Amino acid sequence: MNTLKTEILCTLGPASFNDQVIKRLDDLGVRLFRINLSHTKAQDLSAIIDNIQQYTDVPICLDTEGAQIRTGDFVDLRIELRENSIVRGHRRKVPGDPTGFNFYPNYIVDEFQIGDFISIDFNSVLVQVIGKDDDGAILRVINGGAVGRNKAVTVERDIAMDPLTQNDRACLAIGMEKGLSNYALSFASCREDVEEIRRLTSDDAFIISKIESLPGLTHLNDIADASNALLIDRGDLSRQVPLERIPEVQKAIIKTAKEMDRKVYVATNLLESMITLPTPTRAEVNDIYNTLLDGADGLVLAAETAIGAHPIACASMVVKMIRNFESPEKANPLDYPSDPISLLVDPHGGQLVQRHASSAERMQALMLPLLKVSETTLLDCEQITHGTYSPLSGFMNRETCQAVLETNCLLDGTVWPMPVLLAAPKDSIQGFGAGDKISLAGSDNTVYATLDVSEIFTMDLDQVARKWFGTSSKDHPGVARLFHDGDQFIAGDVALVERLPSPYRHYELTPAQSRFIFAHKGWSKVVGFHTRNPIHRGHEHIQLQALQDTGADGLYINPVIGPKKSGDFLPGPIMLSYQTMLEFGLFPKGKVILGSFATYSRYAGPREAVFTALCRKNMGCSYFIIGRDHTGVGDYYAPGANQAFMEELGDFGIQPVFFDAVGYDEFSARHGFTTDSSNMTPIDGTQVRDSLRDGTSIPDWMMRDIIQETLRAESAQNRPLFVE
């Protein structure tokens, strides 16, 4: 006779679909046998139910597929997706290989949007949607690895799906015909989902709603109210809730279930090691005990009994744990955080500023007074609102700008050396004043942001230029832009209404996205690299040297793709050069992420060196590479000016990594720094640029042959490399 108060639920599968195991599990006191419909076809279900019922009277529970996305039914058990490769998610059925595969359900590719991040097979692989066509979605593989058949998929954006698949509906009908009364709803997201499965079964059915997604957490009370029990699937839940948050979320769900007089079960990884080993780990035993202390009414063995080598031993261990268990304690207060606890460097100022207009605010923006602004201003708007310029929330007023120019700090003392100003012609801002809310539009009258005006002011441009750029000469491109834009400025907080159109959107990563990728890859220390040029061997050398010297987990290559001056490389060739490096495996595997930075050069020397470092700090980088002439122009800044300025500022939260000029020693056939040996022939960026412009070859040691060939092929197709 079963005297256990805590229930045990077991999933049946290949390891346990036999009379001996089923009977033994029955003897141990299992209360419910679960059939996973994600791995069961409707045409097979009736025979499976009959087979189980031959050996036991323990009730059977049909666990639906639910509103989930999975990989397709590959011909092979798994496929290998190579990092940085381009693959396709097909709508039409394909066998599945490293170049393309199906998602399930097939129609889901229609719901994908360009820019979506998709985690596959419990986050082992990360891809991003970079295009769509009639046959599905085009994906770039950000984090490579093996992808199994029929494995979990998570889109980092909620997609509305039917709560039940066609297979679910067919299986539920069979279950009712067989007299089953227990059903589990996977990925329950709202009350209506529960009502739908109850409509298809019966009012008396025992409905277990599985909490395994953020929508499920959001509507937990409504779901619990409509259900007979809750089941916490910690595996699927951890696809959206950071792993380190799972314990406290589990406690909160259990507390809610208890308050609403609903049973609650806990599943996933209870005895994961026993899938192959005969005994559990200490951590697993401790987890089970704490789960019981939390107040769980039941424990669910899934893979342990479905495919594991020791299904009976697993159930026996759980029985012993339950028998040894004492009364549970109360859980912690309800709290469902979704932000991960990160080991990455904190954003500058402590918090990532994100200012995106709501739907209502976007509609309101169309009715506001309009101010046309430059492309560079709109780029600043976008970066402010994404948090790249944290802690800034808008364009500076006079007092803040003066503090920055004179002290290199904001008014609260936070290090910040770069003025961020909105210049506007006097006649365009007549009638505006402090307290007004206006829209900021481009030359095509498209509204991209709103501005809450706090101040309109003028400044002496000659004085500003001298403090900002160290010169008032209009031969300096930064000074020339300052004087061109005029001495009228408007200050205030901004909110993003619409992102600027960009052919490089699939490479653009907001700070939140770059931090997400770094965390996904398990990186906590990242080196950032800023560039305006295609990769040559000099840059390659300092990138790899920085990885080695800092001991960082990875390198974030972050080229600038905004407006440039005549003679500069266009963004396309820059990104293509780095993508080629990645595709040909010329960087250390799994160590490099490429993401573009939609901004523009200020040519502000040391001030800009620190500014670009702080932007990368906000992106999650803890180190930043500073080359010989970083952000400089002409002879306006001394070679050691950047380092001297940073030393003057002290610690500002991201560590600069300084490098001298790189050269190549033909005698030893190695790259190094020109200061290391008199035999070093410098790698000259100007020579690289001239060779690509003239169509002449340079040695592989200066720029890899494959990069030269790729860029020359662009020229041959009449695709320009340079800004005219």
pLDDT of 188 reads 96
pLDDT of 488 reads 95
Longest dimension (CA), the chain: 93
Query: CATH classification of 359-496, choosing from 3.40.50.10490, 3.30.390.30, 3.10.400.10, 3.90.105.10?
Result: 3.10.400.10
pLDDT of 341 reads 61
Domain 511-716: give its CATH code.
3.40.50.620
The 3-class secondary structure across 641-690, one letter per residue, is HHHHHHHHHCCCCCEEEECCCEEEECCCCEEEECCCCCCCEECCHHHHHH
CA distance 487 to 663: 44
Helix, coil or strand: residue 522: coil
pLDDT of 630 reads 75
pLDDT of 340 reads 61
Q: Which residues pair with 77 in a beta bridge?
A: none
**Which of 482, 375, 372, 497 lies closest to 429, judged by CA?**
372
Q: Which residues pair with 561 in a beta bridge?
A: none
**Enzyme catalytic residues:** 531-533
pLDDT band at residue 468 under the 50/70/90 scheme: very high
pLDDT band at residue 550 under the 50/70/90 scheme: confident
CATH superfamily of 69-155: PK beta-barrel domain-like (2.40.33.10)
What are the residue ranges spanned by the domains of the chain? 7-67+161-323, 69-155, 359-496, 511-716
**Which of 348, 345, 346, 342 lies closest to 622, judged by CA?**
345
Overall average pLDDT of the 670-693 stretch: 88
pLDDT tens per residue across span 17-55: 998 889 889 988 999 999 999 999 999 999 999 999 999
The first and second tokens of residue 433, run together, are 């004043």
pLDDT tens per residue across span 561-594: 988 888 889 999 999 999 999 999 999 999 999 9
pLDDT tens per residue across span 539-549: 999 999 999 89
Contact 673, 659 (CB under 8 A): yes
Q: Which residues pair with 137 in a beta bridge?
A: 89, 132
The first and second tokens of residue 127, run together, are 């891809």
pLDDT band at residue 411 under the 50/70/90 scheme: very high
Overall average pLDDT of the 517-521 stretch: 87
pLDDT of 330 reads 41
Q: Is 50 exceeded by the pLDDT of residue 327?
A: no
Rounded to the nearest 10°, the torsion over CA 410, 413, 417, 418 is -20
The first and second tokens of residue 364, run together, are 């309101």
Q: Is 80 exceeded by the pLDDT of residue 664?
A: yes
* Vertex 446 angle, CA 441 and 447, to 5°: 55
pLDDT of 447 reads 96
Phi-psi region of 581 (alpha: psi -120 to 50; beta: other; left: phi over 0): alpha
- Positive or negative, the CA dihedral 680, 685, 688, 690 is negative
Residue carrying structure tokens 């160290």: 470
CA distance 418 to 309: 62
Domain 7-67+161-323: give its CATH code.
3.20.20.60
pLDDT band at residue 123 under the 50/70/90 scheme: low
